Amino acid sequence: MTKSLLVLTLGLSACGAVYPQLETPVRTPPAHITLAPPPPDDLVFLKFAGAMIPARTRDGRKWDSVGGALPDAFAKLIVDGKVILETPVQSDSLTPTWPGQAVANYRVRPGAAVTVELWDNNPLNNQPICISGVHLEVGEDPMQINCNSGAELRLLAQPAHGKLGIGLFYELRQEEVVVTRVLKESPAARAGLVRGDQLLKIQGKVVKTMEDGEPQSLINANAATGVSLLVRKADKTELELTLKEGAIYPMKGEGITIDG
């Protein structure tokens, strides 16, 4: 073996194998299904439902000094001093609805300081249209916020929107199934699964004896009725549990799209 080939072989053997991350299916619940358990009180679905902006500023000026006369509006939601939701800019509109905004479930602690802001986007300096502190009211209909500028802003705050699934992500390694991620508000999390857990048995069958793709098939095929698992934790203790499809309330950043 040449020296260069030997170095290459040693280098490859030193590299850890890369395994694809698999995920259990997530689906939209049928309309007649009531998700259980219900979402936690501090998890709220938030979306700007729209705004109505006067044709001119309170002192009679045009909103937009460059281009069209109408504002290029965007909105922000600030909780405890942190911007958690910001819409894209909707140009030349007195009635923006921001259809491209990223809707999501957000953690908002009870009693949090909540501020809504409505801005006119300008090349040099953005101009405020409305800045208002609000008491977040969770319900089916949008809150209406009346601004000193004469503008109205509508904010939808509802109990967290949910999906159906298990909420489990894992890797099929050589003779191992290892949990890589768990959605925070999901059956997998409620069952106590965490990253790094090893699945030793699935539906009573030892993982080491399974053929390629069999762990994924067993998990997906039995999710609706219940997947029995034997789990080894980081401290080497073992836990038997049954994981069944149920309510998932995905949060922003978890990579699950929710209906809005």
| Same domain, yes or no: 169 and 123 | no
- The answer to whether position 1 is within a domain reads no
Question: Domain check: are 47 and 155 in the same one?
Answer: yes
Residues 56 and 150 in one domain: yes
pLDDT of 16 > 80? The answer is no
Q: Which domain holds residue 126?
A: 43-159
**Mean pLDDT value of segment 13-23:** 70
Residue 258 domain flag: no
- Residues 6+ positions from 79 with CB-CB distance below 8 Å: 106, 108, 112, 113, 114
Model confidence at 55, pLDDT cuts 50, 70, 90, reads confident
Q: Which residue has the higher pLDDT, 200 or 17?
A: 200
Residue 9 phi, psi dihedral angles, 5° rounding? -65, -45
Statement: residue 183 has pLDDT above 90: yes
State the pLDDT at residue 14. Answer: 46
User: Residue 2: is its pLDDT beyond 80?
Assistant: no
| Residue 47 and residue 29 in one domain | no
Would you give the distance in Å from CA 101 to the centre of its chain? 13
Distance of alpha carbon 86 from alpha carbon 2, whole angstroms:
59
Burial of 206 (0-12, 13-18, 19+ CB in 10 A): exposed
Q: Check: CB of residue 163 under 8 Å from CB of residue 27.
A: yes
Indicate which CATH number applies to the domain containing 25: 2.30.42.10
User: Does 132 share its domain with 213?
Assistant: no
Same domain, 85 and 185: no
Average pLDDT of span 181-209: 97
Residue 11 domain-assigned? no
Give the three-state DSSP class for 130: strand
- Give the end of a domain, one of 111, 128, 159: 159
Instruction: Copy the structure tokens of residue 167.
Output: 């909420």
Higher pLDDT residue, 237 or 7? 237
Tell me how long the chain is.
260
Q: Are 74 and 147 in a shared domain?
A: yes
The two structure tokens encoding residue 238:
């073992």
Give the number of domains in the chain: 2
Rg from Cα positions in the chain? 25
For 58-96, the pLDDT digits (tens) are: 777 777 655 567 899 999 999 999 999 999 999 999 999
Identify whether 13 is part of a domain: no
pLDDT recorded at residue 13: 45
Q: Which of 47-61, 102-116, 139-153 has the lowest mean pLDDT?
A: 47-61
Q: How would you class 48 by CB atoms within 10 Å of its CB: exposed for 0-12, middle for 13-18, buried for 19 or more?
A: buried
Assess contact for 162 and 249: CB atoms under 8 A.
yes
pLDDT of residue 31 exceeding 80: yes
Residue pLDDT, tens place only, 130-176:
999 999 999 999 999 999 999 999 999 999 999 999 999 999 988 89
Record the tokens describing residue 178, joined without a space. Answer: 């290892």
Q: Does 56 fall in a domain?
A: yes
Query: In this structure, is residue 4 part of a structural domain?
Result: no
Domain of residue 86, CATH code: 2.60.40.150
d(CA 108, CA 137): 12
**Mean pLDDT of the region 203-212:** 95
